[in-house]
Amino acid sequence: MSKKYLAGYLDFGVLGRREAYLFKNEKKEKENQPSFRLVIKEGDNWKEVGAFWIRESKPKEEDEFKALG
């Protein structure tokens, strides 16, 4: 069974551009565990460099974002 993921590039400036992949955390058991994991490719190796959680904004915050835009 194939799995979907996000793929792209990150520009680290003087450190160069790296392939980046965002995978859904299939093993998530608790709310404080990340929903997604960010992995980059360095040469032939893979390195986990970040984690992401799904958040919901409150209606008041959405109004503040519109004011900033």
Inside any domain, residue 21: yes
Inside any domain, residue 19: yes
Q: Which residue has the tokens 């003087």?
A: 14
Alpha-carbon distance of 48 to 55, in angstroms, equals 21
Q: What percent of the chain has pLDDT over 90?
A: 57
17-46 residue pLDDT tens? 989 999 999 999 999 999 999 999 888 999
Inside any domain, residue 1: no
Q: How many domains does the chain have?
A: 1
Q: Which domain, by its residues, includes 18?
A: 6-68
Q: Which residue has the tokens 């194939």?
A: 2
Residues 51-64 have a mean pLDDT of 78
Inside any domain, residue 13: yes
User: Which pTM does this prediction carry?
Assistant: 0.68
